[in-house]
Structure 1
Amino acid sequence: MAAVLAVPAHADMMIRDGQVVESSGAPFVMRGINHAHLWFPNRTERALKDIAATGANTVRIVLGNGVRWNRTSERTVRQLIARSKAAGLIAVLEVHDTTGYGQTGDGAPKDAATIAQATDYWIGIKDALIGQEDYVILNIANEPSGNDVAESYWVDEHRAAIVRLRAAGLKNVIMVDGPNWGQDGSQTMLRRAREVFEADPLKNTLFSVHMYQVYDRPDVIRGYIDGFRSQGLALVVGEFGPDHEGDPVDEATIFDLTNQHGIGYLGWSWSGNGPKARNLDMTVKFNARHLTPWGERILHGEGGIKATSKPAAIFEQVAETPPARNIFSRWFGVD
């Protein structure tokens, strides 16, 4: 009697039992770096190669949907995906125009986009994303609300967005950022993530917290991570650094606990931050040979990228495929 091989119903990168899992079945723990393509497009080609050379396995790329900043075209998105794949990096793509939506008073963003407008963008460029499920994670909206927004906005708008994205045929892992400028200081995401997760018919949603000054003590970081783990929901630290505009961050505990529990992290950012956030640059003026203290820490420090990052198995599988034509076809979608 011939053996029957079990084939998973959904064979792309997915969320399973509270973690990101590749189509090979191997867990994938993100160890990555953010790159601000939106404002530095001429730096991107070199930056992706340099980020890959650090040993990082993921790059989170800043895009615009045309509401607050320039719209990143579908053609450019295709190029970004192809270049990330060529470098052996999983690409997390995010719309940045939503940052701080609804914030009032000092520091309020002008003309920030809504979650719905970010969703419109993804659906508009869906042809660049469909078929890339093993390589691309779709981060709906960066830091999608400020501190003055009702928590129902974060819950209801993300639920609606996920339903629309799935109806449009997008099967990629979806990443959802927390409210309160991504830091979830209200713990809305911690308390209500399950409602958003259940809206996804594929159950393929990942949650991202940005750990800045809210996370300045071990007990706060541990409580947040344990809160997600106890619910069996997948979490990634989508942004973090050593401080934030002069306020301290307990990055040592972030490194310690993410490594202890197999949770992904994506440091902010390769280069290009303004004067108030200059300490978050990992390189000086995008020069990979000139690392900042933060660059040295995240790349070479204890629990950092060099010591803990493992490449996505999908790139090893492709590298083992003998015919060059098969590799080219799979990566770039052409014969």
Structure 2
Amino acid sequence: MNMASAKPGFFVQDRFLYSKDNEKVILRGINHMFIWTDREGKTIPEIAKTGANCVRIVWNTRGRVSDLDNIITQCISNGMIPIPEIHDTTGNWDRLMEAMEFWLREETLQLITNHQQYLIVNIGNEPGADMMDSDEFFTTYNAIVTKMRASGIRVPLMIDADQWGQSEKNLLEVGPKLLQADPEHNLLFSIHMWWPTERHDAQKTGYATVQDRIKGVLEASVDSKLPLIIGEFAPVAAGGIKDIPYRYIMSEAERLNIGWLAWSWGPGNSDSPEMDMTVHSSFNTLVGWGKDVCVDNPNGIQNTSVIPTFIQEKNFDIGSQVLGTNLIQNGDFSSEEPLSNWQVDFWGGKADVQVNQGIVRFDIKKAGKESWNLQFKQKLSLREGVTYIFSMRAKADKPRTLNVNIKKDAEEYTPYANGRILDLSTSWQNFSWKFTMKEASDMEALLIYDMGGVPISWELCDISLVQARSVADRLNRTFQRNVQKNSGYFNAPNGPWELHLYSTKGDLLEVLDKGKGGEGMRQYPKIERSGIMVVKDLSK
């Protein structure tokens, strides 16, 4: 088998999923409603304690891609395969195209590329309230898969069943045809077994009992070599309708080597709290069926889940840097806890630190003798060979200097961006510089402000670190880049030029200045908004 060399990450062969190293992977995991209950991914380490090898990430088209990127990164860092899905399609077939458009956004495509070694993409959750015509099912999904492949997406794509994810008919009958039509032949199919005994209809389903249906559907998928998983199940259906034989689902899946994900970690299932696997989203609050599924049952997660070797050995690159994503956490100080993700250290100095409307103020009470006597810092992730743009705004009560550095967090000094000594004035200034990470990738690099040694208070806001190409890819590549450093001046081109102000996402905010050429050194204007100033030579 040589599929690992052909695919960047997971791939499907016959009815099984394989890792990039040709290791067979049987999914054993948990669904979690991140988009509504945990956009910061705080529960991920708790879910990992179960031994799950995957997490299905409930998301929607209104969620920020940067937040999704962070959750995906945390999943793989905690040893679990991330499976993001778009929930907007639940019970609504017509919104499948909206889901596709989300996956085809520039920033989402970059996210998928960055994480493709370990990512599975679930196109849309439970599309359609009714069973779709088989031709419609094929035509719609084939068009979506074709467009996603044409956009460079090569990871496994997961297709949910129609009729609220519960109908096996089109998966079994149309699934093989879709798999054959996929240019990558890399699809998974997901049935959601919301099949309570109270609502079982033997005549309609063709099975005498729910147990018979579970066994019959799973065996049919095996016979047709369909790469099927059970994407959702619980002890009850929506509205608390009873009972779903979840233990039988797990035992049959184990017998037939079929993957599954339980619904859901919780809390949050307001209409059916019996679905919640935990009381407070922590491993030690697993309760009832959740504890059974994760710990006690011989067919449960801890007894059957196998984490792929390449994940255990961390033989992958964490590509957590999406185009336009600010890699500084809470760089605008807008979190509920304004200083979350930041650390203040006093080493012989003292300062009062307060945040007001996105601006952090440092009232220096005791400066100390050295710059490192007062520090403000944050850990961040840098990848070897990537070029970044760092930007910030600052001012001081009186003119003063400020040391800013991005470096290795170690006693031995290893700079990544070359330290800057900034000249602060009493007016807001934009500071921005570009650097390339030339050292080995560092997932715990340090951004640090050394403010000691000078007894002058100062203010800071709009801190940003993005990949340089997130700007360059959107701007005219003929521009001449001149970013403001300490001097506050730029050299005007010989031909017509304009001074543009761009956002960190590459959007043009304002034309600040312009000239005919040959004006020599010119001073950057003072502005009251954040961004990156670029001199564009119009003659090129």
CA distance change for structure 1 residues 73 and 258 in 2, over 3 Å: closer, same or farther? same
Match of 2:216 in 1: 223
TM-score by length of 2: 0.54
| Counterpart-to-counterpart distance in 2, 1:315 and 1:219 | 36
Match of 1:136 in 2: 119
In structure 2, which of residues 183, 187, 195 is the aligned counterpart of residue 201 of structure 1? 183
In structure 2, which of residues 215, 232, 245 is the aligned counterpart of residue 239 of structure 1? 232
| Counterpart-to-counterpart distance in 1, 2:15 and 2:443 | 33
| Counterpart-to-counterpart distance in 2, 1:17 and 1:214 | 31
CA distance change for structure 1 residues 320 and 266 in 2, over 3 Å: closer, same or farther? closer
Percent of residue pairs identical? 27
* One-letter code aligned to 2:101: D
CA distance change for structure 1 residues 91 and 7 in 2, over 3 Å: closer, same or farther? closer
What is the 5 A alignment of 1:281-296?
281-296=276-291
In structure 2, which of residues 143, 147, 150 is the aligned counterpart of residue 167 of structure 1? 150
- Would you say the 8 A contact 1:47–1:286 is kept in 2? yes
In structure 2, which of residues 34, 42, 46 is the aligned counterpart of residue 46 of structure 1? 42
What is the 5 A alignment of 1:1-335?
8-42=5-39, 44-65=40-61, 71-101=62-92, 114-124=95-105, 125-147=108-130, 149-184=132-167, 187-213=169-195, 217-244=210-237, 245-300=240-295, 301-318=297-314, 325=440, 328=443
* One-letter code aligned to 1:241: A
- Would you say the 8 A contact 1:139–1:175 is kept in 2? yes
* One-letter code aligned to 1:268: W
* One-letter code aligned to 1:74: V
1:74 Cα deviation (Å)? Answer: 1.9
1:306 Cα deviation (Å)? Answer: 0.8
More displaced 10-residue stretch of structure 1: 127-136 or 162-171: 127-136
Give the gaps of 5 or more residues in structure 2.
198-208, 318-383, 385-438, 445-466, 468-540
- Would you say the 8 A contact 2:90–2:128 is kept in 1? yes
Cα shift readout 1:269-311 (whole Å, capped 9, x = no counterpart): 0003333311110001323312221211111212000101111
1:327 Cα deviation (Å)? Answer: 7.8
- RMSD, matched Cα: 2.5
| Counterpart-to-counterpart distance in 1, 2:441 and 2:67 | 23
Give the gaps of 5 or more residues in structure 1.
66-70, 103-112
Q: Runs in 1 of length 4+ with deviation above 4 angstroms? A: 326-329
Higher relative contact order, chain-length normalized (CA < 8 Å, sep 6+): 1
| Counterpart-to-counterpart distance in 2, 1:154 and 1:131 | 30
The count of residues paired between Structure 1 and Structure 2 equals: 309
| Counterpart-to-counterpart distance in 2, 1:88 and 1:61 | 15
Higher strand share: 2
Equivalent position SS for 1:23: coil
Equivalent position SS for 1:201: coil
1:7 Cα deviation (Å)? Answer: 6.9
Higher helix share: 1
* One-letter code aligned to 2:72: I
- Would you say the 8 A contact 1:134–1:314 is kept in 2? no
1:188 Cα deviation (Å)? Answer: 2.0
| Counterpart-to-counterpart distance in 1, 2:114 and 2:72 | 11
